[in-house]
Structure 1
């Protein structure tokens, strides 16, 4: 049996219980103190046995031996340590593109943790240096989805249940991509969607509420209705966000449309410009829909969430939203709610 076939055979046999570690993953670990328990496959007894414990100091000889064993496909991590593994990979997100042993659901967990954390860091300090790290991770996501757009399904099942700016931005980004990919499924299958467009749309969806980072937290955490003055300050976030894009060198039309138009409504009931009908672009309509859905279905200081099925029904009946997009979102949510 060829070496590659042998590695694959061992990995397949252990897949339900263990991750097989490759050299890229090993090199991301602390060289002398791996962050989680490692196991070695012993061929003579056909069993996986402990190799070292998390944080245990390795000798130079063990470091060399470990690298050799990894190269031979004989080192594994227990799936019981999934939370630790997810946290580790989430700090070096591009590793999901090279680790062929992760399931789609596990990769979705990693993206959820990584992107939500990056969004939180950026909204706390919305400057170019911090944004660069968020952009890098968003581009890992688009590379992952561009290879197979159907991967968005696992991500759309991992929305946060509690509202924070970072949680809401993650939820809106994922649901916006899910609706967009469903609407444009034939174009994705035919390879007609440009990667650059997906990059910019992703940034727009995740950053649509950029201006909210300038709203004092105490105002957003009130457990009662905002005053007219406070509401006016909040409604300025679309313009504030637009102004912030220039400082981030992020003046792409797709991003600008999401930031400026996600509160405009087709029937003219939105803000800030009271746009109507075709004056609102397709990405503004998309972002407005998922922004509302994600706001409705998470727990806020001032209220409990609306059930997803009820939320999409309300949006589908509201003439302020794009009817085609509303139907797509409703169908997706209803499908997810069906018992498996």
Structure 2
């Protein structure tokens, strides 16, 4: 077998094509890969089509293709990015294996995969579906754990239209970036830090779990809510907390995201009307990202705000929101 490192691949080729590794190939349909495949021809220094989507590989070709992939001469076009992203999003751990994807492309994959998981979970909030959410969330934290700077690209892949699933993913990606941007360089040295990060991301994904118990007619109402409807909305934090218990999820970080994301520093929040010192750091973080992500998406009753405008609005409301977190959010949006 040839050493793929000895092959002279022209500089800039990967700006237009992905180089496939064996794990990605094995995830494809064996005889009918989902996208066009190209082979690098060394003598002429260019790519030629090896397989056209819709055709069928022979058994001999599948064996040859595996060998060519091991040599590093098989590529797919970045023009097929949407197909490739969708494929990997169903087997999210593949992003940890493919070293040829850009951070922006990987951020696309995470957004799609996590949104699909959350849609399934909110539709059927049972332990079996949660375990799938957990698997994908751990891939996300593993990816970020290798390099915290990766959260910048993730935080730019936010949905523009509000749904429960879209909001959950927006909050997880925004909150993850906001959290790690405030950590010292030594943060990643302990196992407990990694475990806490895992649970924080899961907590942000599930923080609005209780909203699944609020009828859609109330959630999406454009007219002012009646007192009993408002009571149902405000009851979603307690409902979510109870649902965590029924799912046998008892991690403090997740419980605080669910129970405290509507608490405010001046005691004007709910359900417990906690004040400064009574709200956990996790609860404060969840509260900032929940409000911010709600404001930057288009909802039935409100247009989306520009992210910097929304963040500055939170900063102006310093009686209720922690200024240090909001300033860090603004700094991230401004690219500082």
**Which TM-score band (shorter chain)?**
over 0.9
Alpha-carbon distance change, 159 to 11 in structure 1, aligned in 2, over 3 angstroms: farther
The corresponding residue for 1:320 is 320
Query: Under a length normalisation based on structure 1, what TM-score does the superposition of the two structures give?
Result: 0.94
Residue in structure 2 matched with residue 228 of structure 1 by the alignment: 227
Report the alpha carbon displacement of residue 218 of structure 1 after superposing the two structures with TM.
2.1
TM-score by length of 2: 0.96
CA distance, structure 1, for counterparts of residue 285 and residue 45 of structure 2 = 53
- Counterpart position of 1:181: 180
1:123-171 CA-partner distances (Å, limit 9, x unpaired): 0111111111111000000000111111000011111110000111111
Residues 257-306 of structure 1: per-residue CA shift (max 9 Å, x gap): 11000000010000011111101000000000110000011100011112
What CA distance in whole angstroms lies between the structure 2 residues aligned with 1:265 and 1:41?
59
Task: State which drifts further: 218-227 or 276-285.
Answer: 218-227
> Secondary structure of 2:262's partner?
coil
- Correspondence for 2:83: 84
Shift of 1:112: 0.7
In the other structure, the counterpart of 1:140 is 139
Cα-to-partner distance string for 1:187-241 (whole Å, 9 max, x where unaligned):
4476687211111111111111111112122221222222221111011111111
User: Offset of 1:184 from its aligned partner?
Assistant: 1.0
Pairs within 5 Å for 1:260-299? 260-299=259-298
In 2, Cα distance between equivalents of 1:217 and 1:6 = 59
Matched with 2:100 is: 101
1:68 counterpart = 2:86: no
Partner SS for 1:273: coil
Distance 1:247 1:10, change over 3 A: farther
8 Å Cα contact 1:187/1:193 also seen in 2: no
Matches of 2:54 and 2:218 in 1, distance apart?
Answer: 43
Q: Identify the residue that residue 334 of structure 1 maps to in structure 2.
A: 334
- 1:11/1:87 CA distance change after superposition, 3 Å: farther
Contact 2:188 2:194 in 1 (8 A): no
Q: Supply the distance in 2 between the matched residues of 1:219 and 1:311 (Cα, whole angstroms).
A: 24
Q: Which moved more, 1:323-332 or 1:24-33?
A: 323-332
Aligned residues: 334
- Native 8 Å contact 2:4 2:70 kept in 1: no
Report SS of the residue matched to 1:10.
Answer: coil
Q: Say whether the 8 Å CA contact 2:167–2:294 is kept in structure 1.
A: yes
**Is the CA contact 2:234–2:271 (under 8 Å) kept in the aligned structure 1?**
yes
1:35 offset after TM fit, Å? 0.4
Aligned counterparts of 1:55 and 1:288: Cα–Cα separation in 2: 49
Q: For 1:98-247, what aligned pairs fall within 5 Å after superposition? A: 98-188=97-187, 194-247=193-246
Shifted more, 22-31 versus 59-68: the winner is 59-68
- Give how far 1:58 is off: 1.1
Partner secondary structure for residue 230 of structure 2: helix
Residues 149 and 188 in structure 1, CA contact (< 8 A), matched pair in contact too: no
Q: After the TM superposition, which of the residue ranges 11-20 and 24-33 deviates more from structure 2?
A: 11-20
Q: How far apart in 2 are the matches of 1:185 and 1:157?
A: 23
Aligned-pair distance for 1:317?
Answer: 1.7
Gaps of 5+ in 1: none
Partner of 1:30: 29
Matches of 1:12 and 1:96, distance apart in 2: 23
1:335, CA displacement in angstroms?
Answer: 2.6
Give the Cα–Cα distance (whole angstroms) in 2 for the partners of residues 168 and 252 of structure 1. 22
